């Protein structure tokens, strides 16, 4: 994981003298986030451990899977500095079940002892020297600042469209593009595409476009880390060669970036409107889910039929073994008559990703992708490819 341009934090203390006091709830809150990153590697058992570092009046928890690394700082009374690693799952479960609120953690010859008023437990661990070094930003890293909840919301809105398989690595991630005051996030698995464009505040941003591909698993962890917090709290982001660093006051997440060129998805975005339907999003979603109960197992498709003269859209599905279903929706329908098939799950997930009361669906031809957008708010779109019916 480390690269030549990154600066790592070397060991500064022994592994046998860590001694701190802390509050159980604070420790457990940190462990819930940190243990998500813990690796599972048969030949590197140390990746299943969390590194504890006590120094300068703080306890820092570190975990890595060699793709993503995280460090989280907890307030503590430090009696003696030190470093030691403990099994992540056991330590997390023990902290959750421990009967005492005030904890004493001390490393000795037998391992790490957790002690309270009513209980004492000792965990075997591994020396801190075996734990992989987690990179930190280099001096020449590109830095920028974004509102944390703003960025987390954008990631949540697009990352479900990223590819799960890594046969095309660049698609197994979220494209993050930043230019002046505009941040674009996009994800696609080649069957559907989601894009979120966000206007940033007046804070200075790079004058040339930055484009990086964040792995989908890293994007999920970043979103989890950034959610919550104060409305206007910011996250510091640093880019250093093939790595990115997200820093908050008490936490830092490090991730590798995906190398390669992201496809120019803007070429497939419709430029003409064609047929259009505007209606209630919740009704549209319910109609798709209802018809999805009757889809064919081989194609999982529902058919959307737009009728401008009647001002309706029908959502239907039929299979030999289940039967058939048709749901009719009223709304504003423009353009020509159109009947087109889509993957039911993809269509439902796209509708569910929006939050507005109304939804706009547009499509140019029976063979063209369908586009979902909010008629009352710009900056978010969902494109889904049609299914060719036999």
Determine the average pLDDT of the residues in 121-148. Answer: 89
- Which has the closest alpha carbon to 61: 28, 108, 21? 28
3-class state of residue 364 by DSSP: coil
Percentage of the chain lying above the pLDDT 90 cut: 72
Cα within 13 Å of Cα(135), Cβ side: 26
pLDDT of residue 299: 81
pLDDT, residue 369, reads 94
State pLDDT tens for residues 47-61: 999 999 999 889 999
Alpha-carbon distance 148 to 195, whole Å? 19
Which pTM does this prediction carry?
A: 0.86
Main-chain dihedrals φ then ψ at residue 320, nearest 5 degrees: -65, -35
Query: How many H-runs (helices) and E-runs (strands) does the chain carry?
Result: 6, 28
**What's the pLDDT at 128?**
94
pLDDT for res 375: 95
| pLDDT higher than 80, residue 36 | yes
**Band (182; pLDDT cuts 50, 70, 90):** confident
- Is the pLDDT confidence value at 205 over 80? no
Does 14 score more than 90 pLDDT?
Answer: no
- Spatial contact of 169 and 260, defined as CB atoms under 8 Å apart: yes
pLDDT, tens digit, for every residue of 302-347?
Answer: 999 999 999 999 999 999 889 999 999 999 999 999 999 999 999 9
Q: Show Cβ contacts of residue 390 under 8 Å, excluding neighbours closer than 6 positions.
A: none
One DSSP character per residue, 230-276 reads -TT-EEEEEEETTEEEEEETTEEEEEE---S----GGGGS-SS-BEE
pLDDT of residue 13: 38
Q: Is the dihedral of CA 79, 82, 85, 88 positive or negative?
A: positive
Structure tokens given for 237: 């982001």
Query: Which residue ranges form the domains of the chain, and what is each CATH number?
Result: 7-135 (3.10.150.10), 140-265 (3.10.150.10), 270-384 (3.10.150.10)
């Amino acid at each position: 994981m480390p690269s030549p341009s990154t600066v790592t934090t070397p060991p500064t203390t022994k592994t046998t003298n860590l001694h701190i006091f802390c509050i159980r709830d604070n420790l457990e809150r940190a462990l819930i986030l940190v243990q998500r990153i813990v690796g599972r590697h048969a030949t590197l058992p140390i990746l299943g451990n969390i590194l504890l570092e006590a120094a300068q009046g703080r306890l820092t928890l570190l975990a890595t899977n060699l793709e993503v690394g995280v460090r989280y700082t907890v307030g503590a009374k430090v009696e003696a500095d030190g470093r030691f690693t403990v099994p992540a799952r056991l330590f997390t479960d023990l902290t959750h079940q421990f009967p005492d609120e005030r904890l004493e953690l001390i490393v000795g010859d037998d391992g790490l002892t957790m002690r309270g008023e009513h209980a004492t437990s000792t965990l075997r661990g591994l020396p801190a020297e075996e734990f992989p070094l987690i990179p930190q930003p280099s001096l020449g890293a590109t830095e920028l600042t974004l509102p944390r909840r703003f960025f987390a919301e954008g990631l949540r809105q697009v990352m479900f469209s990223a590819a799960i398989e890594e046969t095309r690595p660049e698609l197994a991630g979220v494209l993050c593009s930043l230019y002046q005051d505009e941040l674009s996030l996009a994800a696609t698995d080649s069957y559907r595409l989601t894009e979120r464009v966000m206007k940033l505040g007046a804070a200075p941003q790079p004058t040339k476009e930055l484009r990086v591909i964040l792995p989908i698993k890293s994007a999920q962890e970043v979103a989890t880390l950034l959610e919550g917090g104060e409305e206007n709290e910011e996250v510091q982001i640093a880019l250093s060669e093939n790595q990115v660093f997200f820093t908050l006051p008490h936490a830092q997440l490090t991730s590798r970036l995906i190398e390669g060129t992201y496809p120019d998805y803007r070429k497939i975005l419709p430029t003409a409107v064609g047929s259009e339907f505007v209606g209630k999003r919740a009704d549209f979603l319910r109609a798709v889910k209802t018809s999805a109960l009757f889809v064919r197992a081989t194609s999982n498709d529902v058919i959307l039929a737009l009728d401008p003269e009647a001002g309706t859209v029908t959502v239907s599905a039929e299979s030999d073994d289940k039967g058939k279903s048709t749901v009719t929706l009223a709304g504003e329908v423009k353009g020509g008559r159109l009947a087109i098939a889509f993957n039911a799950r993809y269509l439902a997930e796209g509708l569910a990703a929006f939050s507005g009361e109304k939804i706009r669906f547009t499509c140019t031809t029976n063979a063209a992708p369908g586009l979902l957008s909010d008629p009352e708010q710009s900056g978010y779109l969902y494109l889904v490819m049609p299914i060719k019916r036999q």
